[in-house]
Amino acid sequence: MKRMRLDRLLSNSGIGSRKEVKILIKRGEVQVNGTTIKKFNYPVSPSSDIVEVRGQRIDYKEFYYIMLNKPAGVITSTHDRFHKTVMDILDDNFKALDLFPVGRLDKDTEGLLILTNDGNLTHKLLSPKKFVSKKYFAIIDGSVTKDDVELFKKGVPLSEDFTTLPAQLDIVKPNEVYITIYEGKFHQIKRMFEYINKQVLYLKRVQMGNLKLDDDLSPGDARELTQYEIELLRSSIQ
């Protein structure tokens, strides 16, 4: 692993913002290989140097992968002057990382949202060429029929020049379904149901590729993915 600035390593490890970690360094609270370092740009090797803050060893990771059960009422954005964002509701230790959301969920949509600083994986997961599936649970105003299942299987025309890829509808109850899509167009699921004159009353993403939302995460809760879950995400890319 390449050398990096001490302040960057600390902020990337979730210790605090760049400004906060500079204060720690200035106060003499940071040691590298047992020596107190007061230079912000002191070069450190994340793989071989031992970095400590007040005697506590920093476990540096280049990439972080967070699973958030997004609640309704927050927008999928990193900053917004007027609305609460998914970043605002994260714990402070996650906030300090340079994370961004993998794709978007509408303000009123709940469920699985991945946040990461791994731009390469994000790019692949969102690429229309990779056909990563997205599975949602939806409550519909009206009954979903077998004809709807057949229509969705063929693809739904959302505009004159765009028809969705085939989507899978699984009826749980007449007005409750699971729907799996392979793109991420703006309001896609709501617009697919609008096409059959039905309205989506509730929408929750339950799976992205091979990765399922952890049922134990309450809306608003977030945790790091396990190594196994990161592999599940990676294996979703075709």
Q: Which of 80, 88, 98, 106 is catalytic?
A: 106
Which range binds ligand URA by CB under 6 A, 50-58, 85-93, 112-120, 188-196?
188-196
Q: CA dist 39 to 3, 26, 46, 50, Å?
A: 15, 8, 16, 16
Which range binds ligand URA by CB under 6 A, 56-64, 91-99, 103-111, 161-169?
103-111
Sign of the Cα torsion 223, 228, 234, 238 reads negative
E-strand ranges in the chain read: 4-5, 30-32, 35-36, 43-44, 51-53, 56-57, 65-70, 100-101, 110-116, 134-141, 157-159, 162-163, 168-173, 176-181, 199-208, 211-212, 222-224
Catalytic residue status for 106:
yes
- Our finding on whether 83 is near ligand URA (CB under 6 A) is no
Q: How far is the CB of 109 from ligand URA (least distance, A)?
A: 3
Interface with ligand URA (CB under 6 A), residue from 11, 12, 69, 109: 109
- Our finding on whether 8 is near ligand URA (CB under 6 A) is no
Please, which residues bridge with residue 70 across strands? 111
Q: How far is the CB of 216 from ligand URA (least distance, A)?
A: 22
If the CB atoms of residues 109 and 207 are measured against ligand URA, the closer one turns out to be 109
Contact residues: ligand URA, CB under 6 A: 105-106, 109, 187-190, 203
